[in-house]
A and B are shown apart, each in its own frame.
Chain A
Amino acid sequence: EAGVTQFPSHSVIEKGQTVTLRCDPISGHDNLYWYRRVMGKEIKFLLHFVKESKQDESGMPNNRFLAERTGGTYSTLKVQPAELEDSGVYFCASRPTGEGYTFGSGTRLTVV
C-alpha cells in the first residue's frame, strides 16, 4: 500500500510569491489533515478534511492560506503571498474513519 505522498519535498521561494503544496493521501482514506511545524516549535494543526469538505479549519493562520481537496482525493495547500514567517515543515496525514493517522514525510518550505 502506498503511503501518504507529499510534494515537493523542499521549496524555496521569495517573499511575496505563491507556493502550492500537494498531498496525496492513502487511497480510501476519507480524513485528510494538514499540520505545520515552524522551526523549533511544536507541530500545529491547520485543518481537517472529510472527503472534500472542510471539517475543521480552525488552525489556518490567516487568509493567505487556502486549502482544497478535489473530489475527496488529493489536497493542495496554497500560500499566497508567502511571508517569512510561513517557513516551516508542512505535514499531511490521512486516516480511515475510526483509525489512526499515517503521516507524509512533509514539505520543507523556506521563504527568503
Chain B
Amino acid sequence: AQSVTQPDIHITVSEGASLELRCNYSYGATPYLFWYVQSPGQGLQLLLKYFSGDTLVQGIKGFEAEFKRSQSSFNLRKPSVHWSDAAEYFCAVGDSGGYQKVTFGTGTKLQVIP
C-alpha cells in the first residue's frame, strides 16, 4: 500500500529565509506525487505535481520540488519565504493514473516570523 511520511509537524522560518519541507513516500511503481497547500479557511490548493520527466518540478508561488527515486523523496523548496506562505503543506502520492485515489501525509504547518 502506498504511504507518505512528512517528518516535520511544524516548522518556523524567518521571512526571506529559504525553506525545505521533507516528504518521503512508499509506492510500488512509478509514483505520481503532489504538494498541496491549505491556507486558513481555504481548500487544498495544488502547488505542483510530478508524473514523469524532469525530476525538478516548478510550481506556483515560487515553489519547486525535486523527485529523488533513490531516496523515495519529494522535498518542497522555496528560496525566499514570504509571510503569506504561512499555511499547512501536504505531500501526497496518487495511484495508477495519478488521480484515482490520493494518499496524503500528515501535513507540515509552516509559521513565518518577521
A40-B106, A41-B106, A43-B104 known; A95+B43 contact, CB < 8 A: no
A40-B106, A100-B49 known; A45+B43 contact, CB < 8 A: no
Residues from chain B with a CB closer than 8 A to the CB of A103 are 36, 43-45
CB atoms of B100 and A56 under 8 A apart = yes
Taken together as a complex, chains A and B put the C-alpha atoms of A43 and B98 apart, in Å, by 17
CB atoms of B107 and A42 under 8 A apart = yes
Residues from chain A with a CB closer than 8 A to the CB of B42 are 105
Residue among A35, A40, A42 with max Cβ neighbours from chain B (10 Å): A42
CB atoms of A45 and B106 under 8 A apart = no
Q: Does B65 contact A (CB under 8 A)?
A: no
**Least distance between B96 CB and chain A CB atoms (Å):** 12
Contact of A101 among B41, B46, B103, B106 (CB under 8 A): B46
Given contacts A43-B90, A48-B101, 12 further A-B contacts (CB under 8 A): A42-B106, A43-B44, A43-B104, A56-B100, A56-B101, A59-B101, A91-B43, A102-B43, A103-B44, A103-B45, A105-B43, A106-B43
Which residues of A are in contact with B by a Cβ distance under 8 Å? 3-4, 31, 35, 40-45, 48, 55-56, 59, 91, 93, 95, 99-106
